[in-house]
């Protein structure tokens, strides 16, 4: 195998691996963003650093519905709070029951102080069950038209590059095959008579 053939072989292998990785990432994103919600869970993208290092910026978290009576200190929950009903995910540091209603006090791991007020458990979307670092970036990318066009274009470029590499290698393969056909076959047996 010549150096050019080896380079073409490894280039094709790298392009194939990149294409498989791109497809796998897209399928994972579709599963997280579109299929998982059908099971009653929610996928959220972390847009702030208040839970670092446990949950980093750009992570995707899978949130499962939770019974307010099962909430415990240490649980990471996603909840709606404030007048604009912003969604954030923080750790429960205290559970309070007032007049039969469960309230929680939360705090981001990276924050110095607890959140300013207690939150009723009715505003909790769910408990974080799975964290996937950096997956939120891909979810955000594939949630926009520009992102979808970019990923499709990247896939087409990889296919085109693989096709170009493939078009170079068969010419050399054909030349090698022609050379082999002109040589006598080493397995030809002598006349048995």
Eight-class DSSP state of 29: H
Q: For 176, list phi and psi in degrees, rounded to 5.
A: -65, -40
Of the given ranges (112-116, 151-155, 176-180), which has the lowest mean pLDDT? 176-180
* 41-133: in CATH 3.40.50.720: no
Eight-class DSSP state of 183: S
For residue 136, CA distances in Å to 21, 29, 139 come to: 17, 9, 5
139 touches 29 (CB < 8 A): yes
Taken in order 85, 89, 90, 96, the sign of the CA dihedral is positive
Q: Interhelix angle for 145-182 vs 3-30, to 10°?
A: 150
- Return d(Cα 12, Cα 6) in angstroms, integer: 10
Per-residue pLDDT of 34-59, as tens digits, reads: 887 888 888 999 999 999 999 999 99
- Return d(Cα 63, Cα 77) in angstroms, integer: 8
- Domain coordinates in residue numbering, the chain: 41-133
Q: Tell whether the model's pLDDT for residue 175 goes beyond 70.
A: no
Question: Which contiguous run of DSSP H or E holds residue 172?
Answer: helix 145-182
Q: For 185, list phi and psi in degrees, rounded to 5.
A: -70, 130
pLDDT value of position 82:
75
With residues binned 3-state (H G I as helix, E B as strand, rest as coil), the percentages for the chain, rounded to 5, are 45, 25, 30
Global pTM exceeds 0.75: no
- Return d(Cα 52, Cα 186) in angstroms, integer: 68
pLDDT value of position 146:
94
- Return d(Cα 75, Cα 57) in angstroms, integer: 19
Q: Tell whether the model's pLDDT for residue 1 goes beyond 80.
A: no
3-class DSSP state of 46: coil
Q: What are the beta bridge partners of residue 103? A: 96, 120
């Amino acid at each position: 195998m010549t150096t050019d053939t080896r380079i073409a072989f490894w280039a094709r292998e790298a392009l194939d691996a990149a294409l498989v990785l791109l497809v796998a990432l897209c399928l994972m994103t579709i599963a997280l963003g579109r299929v998982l919600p059908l099971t009653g869970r929610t996928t959220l993208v972390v847009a702030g650093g208040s839970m670092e290092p446990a949950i980093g910026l750009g992570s995707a978290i899978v949130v499962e519905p939770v019974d307010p009576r099962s909430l415990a200190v240490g649980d990471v929950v996603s909840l709606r709070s404030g007048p604009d009903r912003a969604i954030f995910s923080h750790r429960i540091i205290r559970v309070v029951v007032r007049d039969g209603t469960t309230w929680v006090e939360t705090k981001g791991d990276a924050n110095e102080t607890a959140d300013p007020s207690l939150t009723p458990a009715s505003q909790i979307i769910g408990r974080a069950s799975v964290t996937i670092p950096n997956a939120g970036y891909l979810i955000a990318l594939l949630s926009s038209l520009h992102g979808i066009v970019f990923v499709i274009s990247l896939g087409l470029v990889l296919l085109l590059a693989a096709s170009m590499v493939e078009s170079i290698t068969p010419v050399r393969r054909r030349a090698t095959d022609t050379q082999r056909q002109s040589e006598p076959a080493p397995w030809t047996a002598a006349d048995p008579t």
